[in-house]
Structure 1
Amino acid sequence: MSNLWIFGFQALWSPFFLFFMASILICYFLIIGPYRNRFENAEKVNKKQIFYFTTGIVLLYIVKGGPVDLLGHIIFSAHMFEMAVMYIAVPPLLLLGIPIWLYQYITSFKAVQIILMLFTKPLIALFVFNGLFSFYHLPAVFDAVKQSQIAHTLFLAILFFTAMMMWWPMLNPLPKYQTLSEIKKIGYMFANGVLLTPACALIIFASESLFATYTDPSLWMKAMELCVPAGTLNDLNITGPEFLHWMPVVEDQQTGGIIMKIVQEIVYGTIIGYVFFKWARKERKKDEEQLQAVPPYLQTK
């Protein structure tokens, strides 16, 4: 960590991104607090939802605005940890943190309805996110995107949008958009894991370095300009990522693939458990209601 300080405060903590994340969090607390009565059927948000949303924003800043993002430009395993948290862990936390009355308000806009109609159909959401994620990690695409500030920012923003759309069929609370039963949701999560496996396997079992961005000094320096001011880089006597003395490139690459798979399994397993127990409670409640509807003299028989 101490080695990273040579890149300066701006590269290490991304103050502009911090301000952006803080603004979102402030707007969230204003909406669910002082301005809640401006929304129809607005109820008090429970502490669990506040925890989910706040945790999602904090994690997003840590991996995209904090030292993890800078480290991800130097070592591949940090990059994969960043991707795993940003696209696998953060979206469900944000969706779980939004109260139903705010969902109803957001989806009342025609533009939002069109977006949801186009991108949240389970099969489309499933294949678009996993397809884009795998496409991004094709070596030629990865190295090309890492050389352009515009392409890098645009691609990651689109990927985050598709990640939110992928999680929508699982976690949105609106009956109108409930297109999957609980059993289908579990299958949907298993399918997500299967579709992401080839990209992880390609990285884990590769016997040589796949990404020139982490081995070619000129490409690495160009990629570092995405998060480090050019003036700062020019003043440093660094020629490549080896200054960090992390681990051999191939081992770092394999570690990155393993990290992605582990985080994915933990999050998907947690969500499957969440859906299963929610379904079990619903079924139990339904059985109790049916039992109460039976006349007492029949219940004793």
Structure 2
Amino acid sequence: MPLSIFGFQALWSPYLMGVLIFITIVYFLVTTKWRKDFKVSEPLKKSEAIYFIVAMVIIYVVKGSPVDLMAHIMFTMHMVQMAVLLLLVPIFLIKGIPWWLWKVAIEAPVVRAIFKVMTLPVVAVFVFIGLFSFYHLPAVLDYIKLSETLHGIYTFVLFLSAVFMYWPLIQNMPDREQMKPLHKLAYIIANAVLITPACGLIIFAPNALYETYTNGEAWLKAMELCVPASTLSGLSLSGPELFTDMKPVADQQLGGVLMKILQELIFGVLIAVIFTRWYRAEQKDPEKITADALAAHQKKWESQQQHGL
């Protein structure tokens, strides 16, 4: 059965498109015409503008195009949507917003303390992995998908936790300490390891776990998240099997596998970029690096001598 039966609004989400266009216009006004109203600012870089536009386009593709509709029909597409939204978009968003604009946002009175705690590497990793894993527990996902308000709130909180998770890794604030390359590599590997159990639960489950992808009544209710109720009431639908030949268990397993593959690909690219930059930085001035290492060793030796060690 074709997806066109759900109508233009469900397929292309014109309201979301309007919101994203509005946000993009405000972004360019703030970072160009209005930036002089800030105490500290810099001209918008071409790379920042590109990153931000790419983030907006990806958000629309995964949440506003037929991809979002398919994510409510096939668990495979749901996991692809989650991987792109949570593991790719935050990278472009963090790099697309100028540091001086981030500074204004994260140093606001109420935000400052929360942001400081939530972006601590250990806290950020466990909060993101915890929220992601909790969301994909069968009872939790089925419950959340039956409420448009709850689904919207949880998705936003989960996305925010992904931004917190990436912040220590990607932020480039001039007045903040940067994570060392070796620590960045360990941080990425820890993320990859900790998310594995959630994917494993989905991949190796012998039966279909989610009612909203197998039970016709629950599925139809969950479809109200992206299809107007008035449209659904005029259709005679029994379940997702009308739109796919894939068995629920196979669909679920493929979704878990693709989530893990996409996560590994994204993290693999990050590791390659971090390692390459680290290598190039060390090659720029090897004599200075050697001198700094010897000075640190000499300082440590002198300290030990003073304490009689």
Corresponding residue of 1:37 = 36
For residues 213 and 188 of structure 1, the distance between their equivalents in structure 2, rounded to whole angstroms, comes to: 34
Deviations 1:154-200 (A, max 9, x none): 11111011111001110111255436311111100000000111111
How far, CA to CA, are the matches of 2:50 and 2:174 in structure 1? 24
Checking the alignment, whether the CA contact within 8 Å between 1:212 and 1:219 is kept in structure 2 is yes
Name the CA distance, whole Å, in 1 between partners of 2:285 and 2:110: 37
Q: Say which is worse superposed, 234-243 or 38-47, in terms of deviation.
A: 38-47
Q: Does 1:97 align with 2:96?
A: yes
Percent same amino acid among aligned pairs? Answer: 46
Q: Distance in 2 between matches of 1:185 and 1:30?
A: 34
Structure 2 stretches of 5 or more lacking a match? 291-309
Aligned to 2:188: 189
Partner of 1:280: 279
Q: Which runs of 5+ in 1 are unaligned?
A: 292-301
Cα drift, residue 131 of structure 1: 0.8
1:37 and 1:285 map into 2 onto residues whose CA distance is 36
RMSD across aligned C-alpha pairs, in angstroms? 2.0
Q: Look up the match of 2:139.
A: 140
Higher deviation after alignment, 131-140 or 105-114:
105-114
Q: Which moved more, 1:174-183 or 1:212-221?
A: 174-183
Equivalences for 1:1-301 in 2 at 5 Å?
A: 3-178=2-177, 180-287=179-286
| 1:18-38, Cα deviation, whole Å (9 max, x unpaired) | 111111111111122222333
TM-score where L is the length of structure 1: 0.91
Contact 2:172 2:178 in 1 (8 A): no
Aligned residues: 292
Structure 1 position 10, deviation (Å) = 1.1
Paired residue secondary structure (1:225): helix
2:55 touches 2:92 (CA, 8 Å); kept in 1? yes
Give the AA of the match of 1:21: L
Is the 1:60–1:90 contact (alpha carbons within 8 Å) kept by the matching residues of 2?
yes
Contact 2:67–2:77 (CA<8 Å) still a contact in 1? yes
Counterpart-to-counterpart distance in 2, 1:88 and 1:178 = 23
CA distance in 1, matches of 2:288, 2:88: 36
Question: CA separation of 1:260/1:148 partners in 2, compared to 1, >3 Å: closer, same or farther?
Answer: same
Q: Confirm or deny: 8 A CA contact 1:100 1:174 kept in the other structure.
A: yes
